[in-house]
């Protein structure tokens, strides 16, 4: 019979070495051993104080981990885009008698072309409007997008579409499986379908 090849596990060896080192230090260093005994005895004697310290330690570590997670999440926002560092989103604040009354993540449509015309630092702009937003008289309403193919008797309803400027495809570096990004949105009645929303073509 053929013997199985020996596998060298460096992690297991390191753990074993650490255990041996601690056992050696505790055995040959009575002062260190006494420190552990005194610490354990104090923990058992002052249980309330020990629980309070442990609670503070756990709370502090939890707050640190949550803070690091929050900062990492905020820094990863829109990081999928190669041009993320060059793109800024405009928002609008409403003030009444010097007090902030409302904040909106949208601005008026004319702000973007005005900024490009007045500020040479603005190289391009893109405006997005949800296709679900509409008006019924003077009241806002929400609509669904209906895709239909009468020849194949296919109807689909989608509620996550957007109207966008043609510059969207250049600013956000969209990779096309089919079609050309230079003219995909250069006129009315044109649409780009994202692969994650529908079955990708093969």
Please report, for the chain, the start and end positions of each structural domain, with discontinuous segments joined by +.
Answer: 16-75
What is the model's pLDDT at position 144? 67
Instruction: State whether residue 124 is helix, strand or coil.
Output: coil
Q: What is the pLDDT of residue 85?
A: 79
Report the alpha-carbon distance of residue 68 to residue 93 in Å, rounded: 29
Instruction: Write phi, then psi, for 141 (nearest 5 degrees).
Output: -140, 165
Amino acid 58: pLDDT: 93
3-state secondary structure of 155: strand
- What pLDDT is recorded for position 133? 63
Give φ, ψ of 24 to 5 degrees: -65, -45
Q: Which of 84, 86, 83, 103 is nearest to 94 (CA)?
A: 103
| pLDDT at res. 114 | 93
Q: Which residues contact 92 (CB under 8 A, 6 or more apart)?
A: 103, 104, 106, 107, 108
Whether residue 174 contacts residue 162, with contact meaning beta carbons closer than 8 Å, is answered with: no
For the chain, which residues score pLDDT lower than 70?
1-15, 22, 24-30, 32, 132-144, 152, 154, 196-202
């Amino acid at each position: 019979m053929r013997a199985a090849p020996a596998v060298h596990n460096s992690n297991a060896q390191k753990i074993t070495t650490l255990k041996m080192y601690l056992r050696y230090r505790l055995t040959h260093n009575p002062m260190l051993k006494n420190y552990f005994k005194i610490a354990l005895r104090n923990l058992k004697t002052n249980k309330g104080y020990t629980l309070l310290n442990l609670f503070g330690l756990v709370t502090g570590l939890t707050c640190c981990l949550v803070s690091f997670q929050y900062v990492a999440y905020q820094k990863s926002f829109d990081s999928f885009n190669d041009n993320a560092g060059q793109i800024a989103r405009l928002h609008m604040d409403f003030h009444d008698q010097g007090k902030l009354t409302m904040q909106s993540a949208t601005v008026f449509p004319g702000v973007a072309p005005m900024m490009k015309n007045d500020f040479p630092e603005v190289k391009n702009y893109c405006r997005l409007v949800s296709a679900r937003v509409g008006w019924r008289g003077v009241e806002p309403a929400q609509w669904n997008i209906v895709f239909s193919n009468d020849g194949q008797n296919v109807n689909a309803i989608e509620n996550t579409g957007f109207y966008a400027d043609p510059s969207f495809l250049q600013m956000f570096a969209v990779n096309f499986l089919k079609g050309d990004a230079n003219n995909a949105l250069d006129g009315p009645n044109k649409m780009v379908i994202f692969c994650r929303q529908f079955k990708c073509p093969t």
